[in-house]
Amino acid sequence: MTETDDMRVCFFGDSFTAGTGDDTALGWVGRAVADVRQRGVDLTAYNLGVRGETSIDIARRWNAEAGPRLPEGIRAGLVFSFGVNDCVTGVAGQMRVPVHQTIETAQSIFADAARAGWPVLMIGPPRCFEATLDLRIAALTDVLAPVCAEFDIPFLPLFHRMPDAASREGGIWQQECADGDGIHPNAGGYAMIARIVTGWDAWGAMFG
């Protein structure tokens, strides 16, 4: 590894950010971070994904958790990825977080991050290959894009970048979920997400 400036990045999200279900314990974050470090960036990554959390849960904690990890004078950044748990059915068959509330929460998160001066990337929720849930995730993805644009935050529409159910990679994801807890993939699925993320221009720009 070549000598470079120290960089620290906090990853905030849910179980997909945490890498739940991955027997290698890397998840997509670990793989994407490894790719950055192999390119010579002295990156310290904090995976702060929490299983089951919605956008509201993340909004309540992210600033307090980022502060001690991203001290002044250090090259730093934030990566957010949320939305699946917002779309999951909760009480009385309703979404746990209505779309309008997810939008308001995202706006609040992004405004606070802008005031703090940290560069931000937003990675949309993944496809889950469950018809009703995927319809909700697709709709949420489409409304998150303009919210990110409002704050000049690069947005990766992960749902739309992932392969469909009939593809080989889609089949691997579904089989890994079936072999696991029914919703989270194993190493193959997370490796696929990592490839999408590391191939994203905004990801490369953050660490360039």
pLDDT in tens, 69-117: 999 999 999 999 999 999 999 888 899 999 999 999 999 999 999 999 9
Within-domain flag for 204: no
Contacts 24+ apart (CB under 8 A), 94-97: 95/136, 96/54, 97/54, 97/55, 97/56
Distance CA 3, CA 147 (A): 37
Evaluate whether 128 touches 134 at the Cβ level (below 8 Å). yes
Distance CA 184, CA 15 (A): 8
Q: Which residue has the tokens 């974050």?
A: 29
Q: Is the pLDDT of residue 4 over 70?
A: no
Distance CA 109, CA 12 (A): 11
Mean pLDDT of 117-144: 97
Within-domain flag for 119: yes
pLDDT the model gives residue 2:
41
Instruction: Specify the DSSP class assigned to residue 97.
Output: S
pLDDT the model gives residue 97:
98
Q: How many structural domains compose the chain?
A: 1
Mean pLDDT of 6-13: 98
Dihedral sign, Cα of residue 170, residue 171, residue 174, residue 179: negative
Mean pLDDT of 20-35: 98
Within-domain flag for 85: yes
Within-domain flag for 1: no
Within-domain flag for 203: no
Within-domain flag for 27: yes
Q: For residue 58, give its domain range.
A: 6-198
Within-domain flag for 189: yes
Within-domain flag for 161: yes
Q: Is the pLDDT of residue 163 over 50?
A: yes
Distance CA 57, CA 173 (A): 27
For residue 128, what are the CA distances in angstroms to 3, 4, 95? 40, 38, 15
For residue 88, what are the CA distances in angstroms to 40, 68, 84, 156? 39, 32, 6, 21
CATH classification of the domain holding 123: 3.40.50.1110
pLDDT the model gives residue 92:
83
